[in-house]
Structure 1
Amino acid sequence: MDRVPGLRLAHSYERSWLPKDIVAGLVLSALLVPQGMAYAQLAGLPPVTGLYTSILCLIGYAVFGPSRVLVLGPDSSLGPMIAATIAPLLLAGGDPARAVALASMLAVIVGVVMVVAGLARFGFVADLLSRPTQIGYMNGLALTIIVGQLPKLFGFSTDANGLVAEANAFVSGLFTGAANRTAALIGVSALAGILLLNRFIPKVPSVLVVVALTAVVVNLYDLESHGVDTVGVLPQGLPTFAIPHVGWGDFPPLFLGALAIAVVALADTMSTASSFAARRGERVQGNQEMIGIGAANIAAGAFQGFPVSTSGSRTAVAEQAGSRSQVTGVVGALVIAVVLLFANSLMQYVPQPALGAVVIAAAVSLTDVAGTRRLWLQRRTEFLLSLIALLGVALLGVLPGILIAVGLSILNVFRRTWWPHQAELGRVEGVAGLHDTESYPDAERLPGLVVYRFDAPLIFANARSFGETVREMAEDDPSLSWIVVAAEPITDVDTTASDMLQELDTWLNARGVSLVFAEMKDPVRAKIERYELTRTIAPEHFLPTVDSAVAEYRRLTGASWQAPKEPS
C-alpha cells in the first residue's frame, strides 16, 4: 500500500468526508473546465485535450499520489515548455493529430522519468532550482506567456516566435488594424473581471464567472458574426486509450524536453506540497510525490493528454471548499466526463479572447514581484541570478531558460564552495567563544597565534585559496608559531586538498610554524588518517575544540591575550 496510497485511503476513508469532497469536487470542476481548455491552447493543442488531460491525471494521482489535498492538471507554467518541445517537430501546416501524438508521448516520457526517479529516491532533484532562479524563471515565463497571449486577447494572431518578435508583431498588428475591436473589448473586460474578482472577492470562482458571462454575451448578441472566435462544439465522448505514434527521430528532443518539464513540475509540486502540508501538519513524501506525478502523466499521455503538474491555485480552491481527500479530484474528473458525454455544446460560445484572458491572469499569478524586491534588498548576487534566469527565459526561450535556471542554481552552490567565507577569530570581552575579527575589530589576539576558520568543505576547487591564505598569514607575521584551523565547518577533505595540506605543512614546518586542527569531524579525521597525512601533521596537532587548542598554546608559550595593534 505504500506505493499505492489510493488503496490505503480506500481502507481509511471516513464516510463523513464524502459530502465535503463532493462539494469541493463540484467547485473545483468549475475551474478545471475553462482552465483546461485555455492551457491546452497555450501548449498549441486543441482545447478538448485539456479536458481529457484533466480527467486522467486526477484519477492517476488519486491512486498513486500521497497528498490528500494536492490537485494536478494542465498548468500555465508547462504550456510554453510543451509548445517549445513539440513545435519544431510538427510537419508543415501543424497537423493537430500529430501535435496531440507528440504531446501525449511527451507526457508518457515525463511520467516514466518521474516514476523511475521516485523509485530511485531522486526526490532531491527538486533542489536543482534554487529559490532566486525559480523566481526569475517564473517571472520570465509569465512575461513570455503574457506577450504571447496579447494577440489572442485582441482578436488576432501572429506567426512570430520569441518574446521580442512577438512583442513587435503585436504592436505592429495594433497599428495596422489587425485587432478586432469587439474581441478586444471581450478579452480586456474578461481579464479585468478575473483580476478584480481575485482581488476583492477571492472566494468567488472568477474564471468560471467570467467565462460564463462572456459566453452568454457572445451568444446573446451574435458576436461571432462580428469576428469573435469561439471554442465551438467539443467532440462528444470520453478519450480512448491510444499509444502515441511518433518516429524514432522524435525521441531525443522529446526526452530533453521531458527532463526539463520533470524538473519544473517537481519543483512546483514540492514547493506547493510543502506549503499546504505545513498548514495541515502533514509530512511531504518527496519520492512518492514523484511516483504520483509520474503516474498522472502516464495516464494522461495514454489517453490523448499532455504533461501536467500541481496547481497551487486549484489546490487552494479545493482546500477552501472543504476537500478532505483525493476523492475531490475524482469528483472533478467525473464532472468533466459528464460535460463531454452530455453537454459538449456547453462551451461552444466561449470566446477565444476570454481564454486568452484566463491564461494571462494565470501568468500574472506566476510573477513574484515581492520576492524579487526582497532579493534586491537582501542579497544583490541572488537578485542578479534571478534576473539572468528571467532574461534567459524571455530572450532565449523556455527550454533554454530552464536549463539556464538549473545551471545557475548549480553554479551558485559551486561558487559558495569555491569562494567560501574565511575569518580570523579573536576573543571579545563579555562574549563567550571566539569571533570574526571583521565583525569585531577590537577582538583580542594571542601573540604568535592565528585562529583561522574556513567555512566550506576543503576540495579541489578551493584548496589553492586555502593554501595561499595560510601562507600569507605566515609571511605577514614573522613571529607566528601556530595556525589553528577551526575545522568544524570543514565537512570534507578530498585528495587534491590532502596533497595541498601535506605541501603546506612541510612549508610551514620549515619556517617554524605548526599547523593545528581543532574540532575536526570524525569522518573527516578518518579521511585524514586514510590519506596518511598524520605522517606530516603530528597527531598531537589535532585537538577536540578551539578552546582546548588555545589553552594548549598558552600552556606551551605562556602567551596572554592582547588588544590588536593600531595600524601605523
Structure 2
Amino acid sequence: MPGDGKSASKVLPGLRTLTGYRREWLAKDVVAGVVLTTLLVPQGMAYAELAGLPAITGLYTSVLCLLAYAVFGPSRILVLGPDSSLGPMIAATVLPLIAAGGDSGRAVALASVLALMVGAITLLAGVARLGFIADLISKPTMIGYMNGLALTILIGQLPKLFGFGTDADGLVDEARAFVQGLADGEAVPAAVAVGGTGIVLILLLQRLLPKVPAVLVMVLLAIAATSLFDLGRHGVGLVGELPRGFPPLTVPDIRWSDVGPLFVGALGIALVSLADTISNASAFATRTGQEVRGNEEMVAIGTANVAAGLFQGFPVSTSGSRTAVAERAGARTQLTGVVGAGLIVLMLVLLPGLFRNLPQPALAAVVVTASLSLADLSGTVRLWHQRKAEFFLSIAAFLGVALLGVLPGIAVAVGLSILNVFRRAWWPYNTVLGRVPGLAGFHDVRSYPQAEHLPGLVIHRFDGPLFFANAKAFRNEVTRLALAEPPPVWVLIAAEPVTDVDTTAADELEELDEALDERGVSLVFAELKDPVRRKIERYGLTRSIDPEHFFPTVEAAVAAFRERTGARWTAPDPPVPDVTATER
C-alpha cells in the first residue's frame, strides 16, 4: 500500500534515497567512497588508540556506523565514524575501570557497552523528539570546551610522538610526565623525526594542496620509511599486523559495578555527539540544499552506536572533516559510506598486514593534526572583541577541561551555558523610552539622549519574562523611577518584550501597584501579549490593577495620558556642567 511505503521510508530514511537514486550518481559515489576510505582507515586506527583501545576496533567501528547510517541516516552526505572529540571522553570513562597494566579485551568490552548506552540515550531522545537537548551547550562554551579538548589531546599525544609512554592522567600530570621523560632521555630520535615530519607534511598538504589526501600520503610515506630505514630496529613502535576478518556479533560482558561510571560517561558523550551531529548536519544541509531533520539524526546516531557496540566498536559521531572530503570527492548519497565500509572489510579479510609497518608516531601525528583542527583561537579572539562576558564563559569552559578533565569539563560547559541563559533572564536589559523627532515609535533614551518626554509620564521597557528570579529587581527599578523628582503620575510599562509572568512576579506586581497608589502614581501596561494578559487575569491582578490601565499599544497609552493631563512633549534637560572640571 502507498501508505506503508511512506511510513517505511520515514523509519528507514535510506529507502527515500534508494527510491530516488539516479544512475548518474553511481560513479561519483563509488569514487568518493574510495577516496573516503583512504582517510577512514588511518583516522579510525588513530582515534581508537586515542580512546585507549586497539587500533583494529577503529576499523570495526567505522564499518558498522557507516552501514547503519546509510539505512537510518536522513542526510545524504554526512559521514560517521570514530571522532577525535570523543576519543578522550571514551578514554576518561573506560581507562579508570581497567586494572593497572591494562586489559585490552576488557577495555573493548567496556567501550562497546559505552557505545550501546550512548546509542540507547540518543535513540530515546530521537523517539521522544528531544532534539533541543543539543542546544544545551552554547557556542562560546563549546569553543572553550573544544580548545581545552585540543590542548588535552595534544599534550596526551606528545609522549607517543616522541617514542615513549607515561602512566600520567590529566593535563597537568601528563605535561609534567612528558617533560620528565624528555629530561630522562626517553625520547627516540627516529620517532621524533617520523612524528614531526608527519605533522608538518599533513599541515602543508592540507594548506597547499587541499584536494590531496594528506593523511594517506603521510601514512604511505611513513610505511615506506619503515621499510627503507628499518625504523623498528631504531626503537620506533609499529602498528603490527591487524587481526584477519571481521568480529561476530558480540554481547559485551562487564561487571555491574561498571554500569554507573559508564552511564555517566555515556551522557556526556551523547550530548557532545548530538551537538556535533546537529551542527554538521545544519552546515552541510545549507550547502547542499537539504532539510535538517534533528530527531531523525538522533535516531540514526543512536542506531549507528548500537551497531558499533555489538561488533566490538566504541561511540561515534559525525565528522566534519571526513564529510568535507566526501563532498569534495563528489559524493551524492550514503552509498559513498557503504563503499567505504565494503573496502575496509575487504582489507581486513584479504590484506590485514597492509598497515603492519605503520609507525605509531605517524598515528600520533594524525591525532595531533586533528586536535589542532578542534581548536578555534580566532573564535576566542572574536568573542573578546564582541562580548566580554561570553569570552570569559569560553575561558571558564576551557579551564574546566584543562584542569578538571574531559568529562567534568563537559559538565562545566553545560552548566555554564545554562547559567548564562539564567543570568540573561535574571538581569534582562531595561530602559526608559522617549519620543525622537523624525522617528516613528518610542526609543531607548540611552541610544537617543535627545529623546523627548512627557512631564509626569515615565515609559519603562523590561526586556524579558517576569519570574521569581527577577521580579524583585523589576519592582526595585520601577520604584526608583517612581521616586524621581518631580514624581511621575504614570509609570507606563512597555510590556511587549515580557513573554511570561509567573505567580511570584504577579504577587510582586500587586504589591508594587499598591505601593505606587499610596504615592499617587499609577502603574500602567501597554502591549501585553495575549497569553500573558490571560495569565494576569487568571492571577486576579485585574481586580487590583485598574483594568483601564491596560492599553493595546504604547501610542494608545501615551495618547490617553496626554488627553487626561494635557502634557506636552519636552526636550531633555541639558547636562549640568562640571564646574570643577572647567576650573581645572
**Same-fold call, TM > 0.5?**
yes
Residue number in structure 1 paired with 2:493 = 485
Amino acid across the alignment from 2:136: L
Q: In 2, Cα distance between the equivalents of 1:181 and 1:415?
A: 53
1:46-72 CA distance string (max 9 Å, x none): 000000000000011111110001000
Q: In 1, Cα distance between the equivalents of 2:143 and 2:71?
A: 32
Residue number in structure 2 paired with 1:417 = 425
1:225 and 2:233 are equivalent in the alignment = yes
Residue number in structure 1 paired with 2:269 = 261
* 1:39-78 to 2 correspondences below 5 Å: 39-78=47-86
SS in 2 for 1:240: coil
* 1:67-466 to 2 correspondences below 5 Å: 67-466=75-474
Residue number in structure 1 paired with 2:580 = none
Amino acid across the alignment from 2:395: L
Q: In 2, Cα distance between the equivalents of 1:7 and 1:283?
A: 16
Offset, 1:477: 3.2
1:36 and 2:21 are equivalent in the alignment = no
Residue number in structure 2 paired with 1:515 = 523
SS in 1 for 2:441: strand
Amino acid across the alignment from 1:436: D
Moved more, 114-123 or 477-486: 477-486
Offset, 1:294: 0.4
Q: In 2, Cα distance between the equivalents of 1:35 and 1:308?
A: 13
Q: In 2, Cα distance between the equivalents of 1:234 and 1:255?
A: 30
Q: In 2, Cα distance between the equivalents of 1:434 and 1:11?
A: 57
With normalisation by structure 1, the TM-score equals 0.99
Offset, 1:91: 2.2
Q: In 2, Cα distance between the equivalents of 1:203 and 1:168?
A: 39
Q: In 2, Cα distance between the equivalents of 1:67 and 1:206?
A: 26
SS in 2 for 1:345: coil
SS in 2 for 1:346: coil
SS in 2 for 1:147: helix
Q: In 2, Cα distance between the equivalents of 1:239 and 1:380?
A: 52
Q: In 2, Cα distance between the equivalents of 1:160 and 1:199?
A: 34
1:347-372 CA distance string (max 9 Å, x none): 00000000000000000000111111
Amino acid across the alignment from 2:112: S
Offset, 1:197: 0.5
Q: In 2, Cα distance between the equivalents of 1:6 and 1:283?
A: 15
Q: In 2, Cα distance between the equivalents of 1:239 and 1:525?
A: 63
Q: In 1, Cα distance between the equivalents of 2:455 and 2:463?
A: 24
Amino acid across the alignment from 1:391: L
Q: In 2, Cα distance between the equivalents of 1:248 and 1:6?
A: 37
Amino acid across the alignment from 2:404: L
SS in 2 for 1:453: strand
Offset, 1:478: 4.3
Q: In 1, Cα distance between the equivalents of 2:82 and 2:52?
A: 13
Match of 1:497 among 498, 502, 505: 505
Q: In 1, Cα distance between the equivalents of 2:425 and 2:27?
A: 54
Match of 1:529 among 537, 548, 552: 537
SS in 2 for 1:152: helix
Q: In 2, Cα distance between the equivalents of 1:3 and 1:424?
A: 53
Q: In 2, Cα distance between the equivalents of 1:283 and 1:449?
A: 50
Amino acid across the alignment from 1:489: P
SS in 2 for 1:423: strand
Q: In 2, Cα distance between the equivalents of 1:493 and 1:528?
A: 7
SS in 2 for 1:237: coil
Amino acid across the alignment from 1:140: G
Amino acid across the alignment from 1:297: N
SS in 1 for 2:41: helix
SS in 2 for 1:424: strand
Q: In 2, Cα distance between the equivalents of 1:481 and 1:130?
A: 43
Moved more, 165-174 or 44-53: 165-174
Q: In 2, Cα distance between the equivalents of 1:383 and 1:75?
A: 26
Structure 1 stretches lacking a partner, 5+ long: none
Q: In 2, Cα distance between the equivalents of 1:232 and 1:390?
A: 36
SS in 2 for 1:62: helix
Offset, 1:92: 3.0
Offset, 1:567: 4.4
CA RMSD of aligned residues (A): 0.8
Q: In 2, Cα distance between the equivalents of 1:556 and 1:323?
A: 71
Offset, 1:566: 3.0
Q: In 1, Cα distance between the equivalents of 2:424 and 2:377?
A: 26
Residue number in structure 2 paired with 1:2 = 10
Sequence identity, in percent?
64
Offset, 1:511: 1.3
Q: In 2, Cα distance between the equivalents of 1:159 and 1:255?
A: 25
Residue number in structure 2 paired with 1:544 = 552
Q: In 2, Cα distance between the equivalents of 1:199 and 1:365?
A: 12
With normalisation by structure 2, the TM-score equals 0.96
Residue number in structure 1 paired with 2:23 = 15
Offset, 1:15: 1.7
SS in 2 for 1:432: coil
SS in 2 for 1:347: coil
